[in-house]
């Protein structure tokens, strides 16, 4: 007999599979250049604030301290929905992998002809040899830990695809907070 708990578990599994199919579809469309982008001048700061607001409760439940450093004139020529999706994916990773009581930092600023957006956390660090592979599809630093946390290894690949579609770059390095820093650089839209 099905119990409430088993039904809830099944619902969660179906949801996870649906997300996996959606992610794979998005990457396939991006591969063939069929993913639609509605680009216009957009300030990334309000998008970053919106992404942070959507994670406020989840981050608070995990007792994660959130720090922001949001500059002005972080204007890019981009698709606001896709940029928001990228920011949410990166916050999802920080929320998923940062230990309770840790820190998450998001910043956005203009540096010359570029807009730089950083996501940093105090999650357990990533080994240096893994950093170049983080944006590969299905890559997991620790397969058993990722499975336990529900990751399929597609989120960062999707983020890099979105950054590339905006003529941007994405990189990963050690964060001064002790975890990971993911940096997105996008062309400034004058």
Task: Quick: pLDDT tens for 37-47.
Answer: 789 999 999 99
Query: Do 107 and 68 touch, CB atoms closer than 8 A?
Result: yes
Spatial CB neighbours of 37, under 8 Å, sequence gap ≥ 6: 78, 79, 82, 165, 166
Mapping DSSP onto H, E and C, the string for 175-189 reads CCCCCEEEEEEEECC
At 133, the pLDDT band (50, 70, 90 cuts) reads: confident
At 170, the pLDDT band (50, 70, 90 cuts) reads: very high
Task: Quick: pLDDT tens for 14-28.
Answer: 766 666 566 666 666
The pLDDT value recorded for residue 60 is: 92
Mean model confidence pLDDT for the chain = 84
More confident residue, 163 or 3: 163
**Rounded Cα–Cα distance for residues 90 and 163 (Å):** 12
Nearest in space to 74 (alpha carbons), one of 83, 82, 66:
83
pTM of this structure: 0.80
Residue found under tokens 């807009």: 115
More confident residue, 160 or 146: 160
Task: Quick: pLDDT tens for 31-87.
Answer: 667 667 789 999 999 999 999 999 999 999 999 999 999 988 899 999 998 899 899
């Amino acid at each position: 007999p099905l119990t409430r708990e088993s039904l809830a578990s099944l619902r969660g599994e179906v949801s996870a599979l649906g997300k996996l199919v959606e992610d794979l579809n998005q990457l396939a469309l991006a591969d063939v250049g069929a993913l639609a982008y509605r680009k216009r001048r957009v300030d990334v700061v309000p998008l970053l604030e919106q992404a942070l607001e959507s994670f406020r409760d989840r981050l608070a439940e995990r007792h994660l301290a959130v720090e922001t450093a949001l500059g002005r004139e972080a204007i890019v020529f981009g698709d606001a929905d896709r940029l928001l999706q990228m920011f949410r994916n990166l916050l999802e990773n920080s929320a998923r992998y940062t230990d309770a009581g840790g820190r998450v930092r998001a910043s956005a600023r203009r540096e010359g002809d570029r807009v730089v957006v950083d996501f940093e956390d105090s999650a357990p660090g990533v080994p240096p040899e893994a950093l170049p592979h983080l944006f590969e599809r299905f890559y997991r630093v620790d397969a058993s830990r990722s499975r336990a946390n529900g990751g399929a290894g597609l989120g960062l690949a999707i983020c890099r695809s979105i950054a590339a579609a905006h003529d941007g770059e994405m990189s990963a390095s050690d964060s001064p907070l002790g975890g990971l820093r993911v940096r997105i650089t996008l062309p400034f839209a004058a």
